[in-house]
Structure 1
Amino acid sequence: MQWHAEKRVDDDTLRHPADGDAWKNFDIENDWFARDPQNVRLGLATDGFNPFGIMSSSYSIRPVVVMPYNLPPWKCMTEPFMMLSLLIPRRNSPGKDIDVYLRPLIDGLKDLWEYGVWTYDAYKNEHFQMHVAVLWTINDFPAYEDLSGWSTKGYLACPVCNKDAPSRKLRNKICYMFHRRFLPHGHVWRKSRMFDGKVENRSHPKYLSGKELLHQLNSIKENDFGKHPNKMKRKRTPEELNWTKKSIFFELSYWEKLKLRHNLDVMHIEKNICDNLLGTMLNIEGKTKDNVSARLDLEDMKIKKELHLKKMDDGSYLMPVACYTLSKEERKKFCCFLKSVKFPDRYA
């Protein structure tokens, strides 16, 4: 449990959470905690799934798992060291009511931070007062809303941009396509008009501290959990931005000072991007993102004229083939390549 302090090599290469800025910033803010490497740092992960494997069933179960980051990276995320702290069985997702289920866990974490627990170290053959802290949560984007209290829907869906989220209304959806603002100033893609027909001159959004977030949360009315016949859904005021509640994690005294509170797990992001890319390149019906609606959006934005729908003499419309759409022969070669890929465990 002291690997992160005694055996980790700190050479500015990110191999372990202890190499990141969030961990180091936490040590600076809580030096008394960092002085004892035996104190435990946890990550908290949650996601809902259907335990019966039937997609048509509305039943859902949500485990809340914590894992210790004191261990080396090849151990801390493995099954023997992951601890199931909660199991939330419901017919549907708990939504913002997840705080009700998290109450016992948060109360325990508050005691472990403030008072600690008298613990035996088998390696050193001694007792010590162990304190525990949760550094961040790991979840997909819908669960981000449940845990953080920031709605991931609408014009202000981006929790990083906060009230400075530059979204755009297209024909059938809200689009978040202003990601070039995160590029360095002077980057060649900032000057390109291929993305939305405009040059991007804005800088990246301002980083908001926990104190600034709490100032925003002061405008939110006290949250009533659960459903009630007299409880009516109301529209949020402009001062509330996209906040739906004050997260229960802010009851942890160190939470507002954390540099990184919520992480999006790589698995969901990689899978979704891969599905969309393959569906578009292979032109799979129902899965491709290159459809009539997308072509009309390009026409509205006045970009990529070669992909605009072309009206034929008989009144129908022709959708030109895009350069990224594979032909029948190219699809065969691509599928043969995937079939030939070998994995260490012979399974994929």
Structure 2
Amino acid sequence: MFSKTASLMKWHVEEHRDDGTFRHPADSQAWKEFDKQNPSFASDVRNVRLGLAADGFNPYGRMSVAHSTWPVVHIVYNLPPWLCMKQCFLFLSMLIDGPKGPGNKIDVYLQPLIEELKELFSIGLQTYDASTGEMFSLKAALLWTISDFPAYAMLSGWSTRVGKACPGCAGDTKSCWMKHGRKFFYIGHRRFLHKSDRMRKDKISFDGKMEWGEAPKLLSVMEMLQQLDGVLTEYKKENLKKRRTELFDHDKHQFWKEKGISFELPYWATNLVPHNLDIMHIEGNCCDSLLSTIMGLVGKSKDNLNSRRDLEELGIRKPLHPIRKGSSLVLPPSSFT
């Protein structure tokens, strides 16, 4: 209804410059691939491109530590980059109340939203365009979701809590269970290096082995659908009682927990990047871990007795193994100390 805002909704085509510089989601390969797969939708520049962001927070601050409320927010990407993230253009489409997070049941809450998105893509809604003074059929599409790593598992259906947690490597993720640290750690990162890179031959600095493996191939959404159709038909309720490490050790495709409700959208199977990880959380967690380890903060450092005992258990990095002196264990200083 506001002519200036209506004009700005066409910015991603009329004023955006496609010169190879990444300034806006319209510069991404995922956006361009969506236009190729849905030419009728892309033909009208006024059709709305949406992103869905979800995360949990505690509205009571420090008054209650056992509460998790989940807002589901939509971002409008038609607008220029200096406006699309402004609060006035963010739409709170849903608020999932606590006291606990929705977990794997988030699809139940998203059902009405998905039904509206299906209708907005296929039928549209008669809307007045104040910039041209005419009515038109407005359509909308959800390009991707944005979340942190735990919420990624809820929205995508891929488990991020066990040995195959990496969304990119999926079933080809290389991991190992740490006996003393009581968690998985991930190896095989040198697979992504060039074949002639000298670090592939470095045994001492890594897991004691040379790495000649190929980088895992990214799965297409259609390949994911084939895995989902073949796996979840045999998923039994009684298996939930077993340890995940026992249940999923043998079949690399058994890490799918469910088929996400987003697949009900007619275009979702062809989306190039259906789910995105929130870089803010990743930067924060990595920065905290790195600084805490370098500064030797007790309780937060990753370089502790359990990690040193795991190195000893694996038989790698012998200079870092704990040394017994009398009744106590002494940790040799790390290279960064």
1:69 aligned to 2:77?
Answer: yes
For 1:99, the aligned partner's letter is D
Asked whether the 8 Å contact 1:220–1:240 carries over to 2, the reply is no
CA drift of 1:278 comes to: 1.2
1:216 equivalent in structure 2: 227
CA drift of 1:315 comes to: 4.1
**Using a 3 Å threshold, how does the CA distance of structure 1 residues 165 and 231 change in structure 2: closer, same or farther?**
closer
SS in 1 for 2:187: coil
Tell me the TM-score normalized by structure 2.
0.89
Asked whether the 8 Å contact 1:156–1:241 carries over to 2, the reply is no
In 2: Cα distance, 1:211 partner to 1:96 partner = 22
In 2: Cα distance, 1:14 partner to 1:133 partner = 22
1:19 equivalent in structure 2: 27
1:36 aligned to 2:44?
Answer: yes
**Using a 3 Å threshold, how does the CA distance of structure 1 residues 246 and 272 change in structure 2: closer, same or farther?**
same
In 2: Cα distance, 1:266 partner to 1:55 partner = 28
2:273 equivalent in structure 1: 260
Matches within 5 A, 1:44-193: 44-54=52-62, 56-171=64-179, 172-193=182-203
In 2: Cα distance, 1:134 partner to 1:246 partner = 17
1:187-212 Cα shifts (integer Å, max 9, x gaps): 33323221212222222211212221
**Using a 3 Å threshold, how does the CA distance of structure 1 residues 254 and 6 change in structure 2: closer, same or farther?**
same
SS in 1 for 2:296: coil
In 1: Cα distance, 2:108 partner to 2:266 partner = 19
1:198 equivalent in structure 2: 209
1:126-166 Cα shifts (integer Å, max 9, x gaps): 22211111110000111011111111111222222122111
1:320 aligned to 2:307?
Answer: no
**Using a 3 Å threshold, how does the CA distance of structure 1 residues 289 and 9 change in structure 2: closer, same or farther?**
same
1:287 equivalent in structure 2: 300
CA drift of 1:223 comes to: 8.9
Asked whether the 8 Å contact 2:171–2:253 carries over to 1, the reply is no
Tell me the number of residue pairs that the alignment of Structure 1 and Structure 2 aligns.
319
For 1:77, the aligned partner's letter is M
Asked whether the 8 Å contact 2:228–2:259 carries over to 1, the reply is yes
1:338 equivalent in structure 2: none
In 2: Cα distance, 1:266 partner to 1:170 partner = 27
In 1: Cα distance, 2:296 partner to 2:252 partner = 44
In 1: Cα distance, 2:256 partner to 2:161 partner = 11
2:314 equivalent in structure 1: 301
CA drift of 1:240 comes to: 5.3
SS in 2 for 1:233: helix
1:213-238 Cα shifts (integer Å, max 9, x gaps): 111111314999xxxxx988355574
**Using a 3 Å threshold, how does the CA distance of structure 1 residues 223 and 128 change in structure 2: closer, same or farther?**
farther
RMSD across aligned positions (CA): 2.1
For 1:278, the aligned partner's letter is L
Structure 2 gaps, min length 5: 1-8
1:103-123 Cα shifts (integer Å, max 9, x gaps): 110000000000011111222
CA drift of 1:58 comes to: 1.3
1:278 aligned to 2:291?
Answer: yes
In 1: Cα distance, 2:122 partner to 2:312 partner = 59
CA drift of 1:301 comes to: 3.2
1:287-315 Cα shifts (integer Å, max 9, x gaps): 11110111122223333332221222x24
In 2: Cα distance, 1:180 partner to 1:221 partner = 35
Q: Sequence identity, in percent?
A: 49
SS in 2 for 1:278: helix
CA drift of 1:64 comes to: 0.1
In 1: Cα distance, 2:193 partner to 2:14 partner = 37
For 1:107, the aligned partner's letter is E
For 1:101, the aligned partner's letter is Y
Asked whether the 8 Å contact 1:280–1:290 carries over to 2, the reply is yes
In 2: Cα distance, 1:147 partner to 1:106 partner = 13
